[in-house]
Amino acid sequence: MNIELKSLKSAAKYKVIYPVIILIIIDIAIIFGILTIGNNLYLKYLNLQDEKDDVSKLRSRVVLVRNNKEIFNGRVDEYNNILTKLIPDEESYFSVISALETLAARTGVTITSYTINLKETTEEKLTLSLSISGESQAITKLLREYMYSSGRLLTNDETSISITEQGNLSISFNFFHKEFKDAVSPATVITEKDIEFINEVSSKL
Amino acid sequence: MKQRRINLFSLTLKKFDFVTAAKKVQFSMIIVLLVLLLTLGLTAVINNYLDQELAAIDKSKKPPAQYFQSNADFDKKIKYFIYKYSLLKDYLKQDAQAYDYFLKLQSHILKVSPGAQIISFTVDNVGQTQFNVRFPNFDEATVFITALETPEFIEPFEYLKLSAFDVASKKVTNFELTIEGKFIK
């Protein structure tokens, strides 16, 4: 130990070692500085990439909005009203009764009874089992037009038609409702075909 | 006899030329310092470039953001439309489309057997179907059974299965077939 100390003391006699030590300290300090700056630059680069992505997404959304404006041609409220009629945000007893009455009036059938099918009914679907009577033409019309004729969207999971029992039909209809949730992908493109379809549905209401 | 000892450390120090070694290290450190300064300069350039890019991006972000902001109400309406329209499409898939399938089946059967009559017809929303067909005579029934196996008749179905052939129900002159199958959706 004494020998090492002695050696160092003798080494210190050489003044040339001081600038070396200072240079080493400066180098180390700069290395730390570069590492810190490098890290910051990396973070800045990531931020830049994020910003570029944001701008790219924003631009494509703007293009979509422009395209959609052209496609909707100022009729977006009208189409939304149609869709709200078909699939309301909430279910109401009066809406269902009104839909059944409209369906009967438009097709010419008589709805003799209806019951709620609890087994098939879900949070967003009300399933009613209906007993219907009427002339075969009226029943045919009902089978052809039930989807939109009531003013609501009606679907039927399974249909049984018995020709021998003309004048009577047992059928289940599903009434749908679901509240709007703002979780739609902004990249969804609406096409002319979709608008044509909505116009076609609108004509059947 | 006195044992001789060698002090290796003192021997090294004596022989090691500190001045030359220190100058070599100093030179290396200066080179390292220069490299580091160059690197530092490069980081400054990169930093400047990134700042400029960020500023440019920020500037280019404003017009679309403003456009988007001014059309936020329309965008919300579009989202509503897309949401409900997607629901409509999904719910429509749950429909059995019985009327369309009935017409399709009726015309399909009448092509093969003009005297045939569909007595009952069931179809669900996956296209699974069962139907009863009545024939006025045995010959027409057999012609229909033969046609059941032809590719033309099977075309709209995934499969078809003759599940019952009622020869003597109700009247001897009436022949009824019960067929199960699945429509191609």
- Could you tell me what percent of chain A has a pLDDT over 90? 48
Neighboring chain B residues of A58 at a CB cutoff of 8 Å: 61, 64-65, 68
Beginning with the edge strand found earlier in the chain, give each strand of the sheet holding A125-133 in spatial order. A110-116, A125-133, A168-176, A154-155
Can you tell me the distance from the alpha carbon of A103 to that of A129, in angstroms, rounded to the nearest whole number?
Answer: 14
Can you tell me the distance from the alpha carbon of A30 to that of A2, in angstroms, rounded to the nearest whole number?
Answer: 35
- pLDDT (mean) for A125-138: 89
B68/chain A closest Cα distance in angstroms:
6
Nearest-by-Cβ selection for A58 from B25, B68, B121: B68
Categorize the per-residue pLDDT at A197 as very low, low, confident or very high, splitting at 50, 70 and 90: very high
Can you tell me the distance from the alpha carbon of B28 to that of B35, in angstroms, rounded to the nearest whole number?
Answer: 11
Neighboring chain A residues of B33 at a CB cutoff of 8 Å: 23, 26-27, 30
B165 touching chain A per CB within 8 A:
no
Q: Which residue from A96, A89, A123, A59 is spatially nearest to B80, judged by alpha carbons? A: A89
Neighboring chain B residues of A59 at a CB cutoff of 8 Å: 64
B2/chain A closest Cα distance in angstroms:
22
- pLDDT (mean) for A45-64: 90
Which amino acid would we find at residue A187? A
Nearest-by-Cβ selection for A155 from B58, B91, B122: B91
C-alpha separations of A8 from A14, A148, B12, B27, B116 in Å: 10, 99, 13, 22, 116
What kind and span of H or E run contains B10? helix B8-15
Q: Is the pLDDT of residue B56 over 70?
A: yes
Q: With both helix axes pointing from N to C terminus, report the angle between B98-112 and B138-148 in degrees, rounded to the nearest 10.
A: 110
pLDDT for res A173: 92
Per-residue burial over A67-93, b = 16 or more CB atoms within 10 Å of its CB, e = otherwise: ebeebbeeebeebbebbebbbbeebee
pLDDT for res A39: 94
Structure-model confidence comparison of residues A194 and B68, the more confident one = A194
B37 touching chain A per CB within 8 A:
yes
Categorize the per-residue pLDDT at B172 as very low, low, confident or very high, splitting at 50, 70 and 90: low
Residue A55 C-beta-side C-alpha neighbours within 13 Å? 17
Cβ atoms of residues A136 and A166 within 8 Å? yes
pLDDT for res A52: 92
pLDDT tens digits, A112-131: 999 999 988 999 999 999 98
**Are B43 and A23 an interchain contact pair (Cβ–Cβ within 8 Å)?**
no
Q: Is the pLDDT of residue A132 over 80?
A: yes
pLDDT for res A163: 67
**Are A26 and B58 an interchain contact pair (Cβ–Cβ within 8 Å)?**
no
**Are A65 and B75 an interchain contact pair (Cβ–Cβ within 8 Å)?**
yes
Neighboring chain B residues of A195 at a CB cutoff of 8 Å: none
A157 touching chain B per CB within 8 A:
yes
pLDDT tens digits, B75-115: 888 889 989 999 999 999 989 888 889 888 888 888 888 88
Categorize the per-residue pLDDT at B19 as very low, low, confident or very high, splitting at 50, 70 and 90: confident
pLDDT for res A64: 82
- pLDDT (mean) for A178-186: 75
Neighbours of A34 (CB within 10 A): 17
Structure-model confidence comparison of residues A166 and B145, the more confident one = B145
pLDDT for res B6: 57
Q: Is the pLDDT of residue B2 over 60?
A: no
Q: Which residue from B145, B15, B63 is spatially nearest to A59, judged by alpha carbons? A: B63
Neighboring chain B residues of A83 at a CB cutoff of 8 Å: 80-81, 84-85, 88
Q: Is the pLDDT of residue A151 over 80?
A: yes
pLDDT for res A68: 85
Q: Is the pLDDT of residue B129 over 60?
A: yes
**Are A27 and B29 an interchain contact pair (Cβ–Cβ within 8 Å)?**
yes
Can you tell me the distance from the alpha carbon of A14 to that of A23, in angstroms, rounded to the nearest whole number?
Answer: 16
Q: Are strands A125-133 and A158-162 parallel, antiparallel or unpaired?
A: unpaired
pLDDT for res B144: 85
C-alpha separations of A205 from A145, A168, B83, B93 in Å: 10, 25, 20, 19
The two tokens of residue B24 are 């070599």
What kind and span of H or E run contains B180? strand B175-183
**Are B18 and A174 an interchain contact pair (Cβ–Cβ within 8 Å)?**
no
B151 touching chain A per CB within 8 A:
no
**Are A77 and B36 an interchain contact pair (Cβ–Cβ within 8 Å)?**
no
Structure-model confidence comparison of residues A189 and B60, the more confident one = B60
Where do we find the tokens 């630059």? A41
**Are B22 and A181 an interchain contact pair (Cβ–Cβ within 8 Å)?**
no
Complex ipTM, two decimals?
A: 0.76
B82 touching chain A per CB within 8 A:
yes
Q: With both helix axes pointing from N to C terminus, report the angle between B72-93 and A17-72 in degrees, rounded to the nearest 10.
A: 70
Can you tell me the distance from the alpha carbon of B165 to that of A155, in angstroms, rounded to the nearest whole number?
Answer: 33
Neighboring chain B residues of A61 at a CB cutoff of 8 Å: 64, 68, 75
The two tokens of residue A54 are 């944001």
Neighboring chain A residues of B10 at a CB cutoff of 8 Å: 3, 7
Residue A80: alpha-carbon gap to chain centroid = 16
pLDDT for res A176: 95
DSSP annotation of A205 reads -
